[in-house]
Structure 1
């Protein structure tokens, strides 16, 4: 009888599993006596690396693991155990690591570092280095402290990642494949492309890419069509995306700087309806937002702008939220969370930025420099407690050609192959 594959995922480290079967002289084949439904149930309990190994066992198993009902079930189960992705560039390749997102309740403390699981590296893009340097130079000139945002990777959607370049590329870091989907260049009147966003239409179940250039022209391309093309979408208010984005319920939200100077509040949140391909601008009635330490998050099911209050780490004593209560009337409300007295000890002498929120209501912050101890910090809006976790990437992150580390929440593993 089969030894059912065990699933044991310690925080940030996965144990290798083994499949045991009958001896080769067994008169019956295991594949004939195990119902496919039972095999699917077993496969959905496995880590993604073991699913990849099982594809090599037999043609039958390979066909089962490619079935639509299995991949959808695996994705559904995976959504209940989201992971945190860490990514950085090393020698032109984008490397991905991950750990479980939810804190381990059986772990007494987090005094020792966590070793993340190596996911994959993204294929080299010959245009990426030139593109990245122009983007970084532009933002360093306008927002010199904005070091932590994942400016080269869009937030993942249903397990897929879109790496930003002049030719956007989409890959699945869970399968470890070298295959990827590449879109044609979004041609603009100028050389610099400001921002690329990866979005999804949950009604028609279509993935799209939104490209916004510095000439205030936006273009959209739909994946899965026979020939990928770009179509222009207009926004009536000229603006500069600030790389603070979040995708929720079929709408892409991002923080932007108005360029028309027709209002006393320069910042606004732009909502892009993916299905209708329409923009809506939501003015933020705040004269001050710490852009360098801000983020868009999902707070109790609502959109919120959150930032660390203060201009230096010693002054960051509270988290300030601006929560959107009514999208039609654009009504915001303010909430302030006082940070614990030991906050400075947790984040002393480091640059901390806000990553996002977990389903448990925790606001997650992270450092970004690879040559210092790398931390992620969980702040619970329910219990007002704070936990710091150190991540140990090893010698790779210490190499001189390693870029800043970006932290991405709410990644779900998808075992569907890119082909």
Structure 2
């Protein structure tokens, strides 16, 4: 018998050889699932879009991708490649874009960079003017009704207003690394401080004791579970003074740091200087250390309005322009090498249409796949 044809001697003619069909695949329930630890290790290296698709593969995969160990591993991997987040309002929508934060020494930055689109809020929900610094990928808006969003999952939630008398309030965003919880702390214009914990079924605001009435100003930063922010207050009941307040996120306690500071701090930004609170002005000054910009600084900046955004773990101070009227620039000032790198960000057609928008630039942003259930 050769090939697929055979010869029937009795009948004297050929007939088609019947080829055995392959055995049927075993029922799905008998197939072995990929071990969860292997899935966690492999999927933690995927881009955000692919992680979202993998949630739809099966109930098993969806369950694995919601596990705490996967979320933590993905966050650790992402922390090694932090991003800079840009947000502004266009046609009533709050839009988020991002770029990789670290400068590539082999890349030519004479050409503009097109940022990655992250997400946007529905029209009408993005009217706030600024946002709190990014903490473990989560963002809180500076608005009377706080809104928390995760650009990685494109989810957001709104919190109830903490005041009942129509008072204005300023929210701050903090994280307790011991209890592993986020909290929103706010100060209202009647000098009442309140705090709430995220992740609870019912959002409740708790009053925080404050011995010195104060009103919050623009600078804030959360370092190792302590939220620092700049305030104005009356000294001796008559003289206006500026002080730094720290809020222990875990203990929910307030205290003032040091004494009254000079008005120069109004033109500064709080930054994380190797794990310590620092105040940096456009002269890049804190304590008794002064760093002078290289000569090219004046050629790059001229009369452009810029803002100190913060400091990276690599020791670079990042500054940026604040408006889309002109091209948006990000400046990397390496204080050790005294070098300055300018990167132009091109939002293309959206940037041209939103040319009157103010841009908030947030550094050390990471990607977090934790869903806001």
TM-score tier by shorter-chain length is: 0.7 to 0.9
Residue 395 of structure 1 corresponds to 349
Q: Secondary structure at 2:89's aligned position in 1?
A: strand
Larger Rg: 2
> In 2, distance between residues paired with 1:100 and 1:261?
48
TM-score by length of 1: 0.77
Shift of 1:344: 0.8
Unaligned runs of 5+ in 1: 1-24, 133-150, 309-317, 322-332
Question: C-alpha deviations, 1:239-293, integer Å up to 9, x for none?
Answer: 221121100011001122223356988222111111111111124665341523x
Matches for 1:42-191 after TM superposition, within 5 Å: 42-107=42-107, 109-125=108-124, 129=127, 132=128, 151-177=129-155, 180-187=156-163, 189-191=165-167
Distance in 1 (CA, whole Å) between partners of 2:322 and 2:24 is 55
Tell me the alpha carbon deviations over residues 76-115 of structure 1, each in whole angstroms, 9 at most, x when there is no partner.
21112111100011222211001111111332x3101111
Q: SS state of the match for residue 32, structure 1?
A: coil
Q: Distance in 2 between matches of 1:263 and 1:380?
A: 42
- Residue 169 and residue 266 in structure 1: after superposition, are their counterparts in 2 closer, same or farther (change >3 A)? same
- Contact 1:253/1:272 (8 A) holds in 2: yes
Spell out, residue by residue over 1:332-380, the C-alpha distance to the aligned partner (whole angstroms, 9 max, x if none): x321111111111111231011000000001100001112111000111
- Does the CA-based 8 Å contact 1:84-1:407 persist in structure 2? yes
Partner of 1:212: 187
* Number of aligned residues: 349
Report the equivalent of 1:297: 271
| 1:275 lines up with 2:250 in the alignment | yes
Distance between the aligned counterparts of 2:338 and 2:69, measured in 1? Answer: 41
Decide whether the 8 Å contact of 2:325 with 2:356 is kept in 1.
Answer: no
- 2:357 & 2:24 partners in 1: Cα distance? 54
In structure 1, distance between residues paired with 2:336 and 2:355: 40
Normalised to the residue count of structure 2, the TM-score between the two structures is: 0.86
Deviation string 1:158-210 (CA, Å, 9 cap, x unpaired) is 22112233221212110124xx32211111545322x1111112222221111
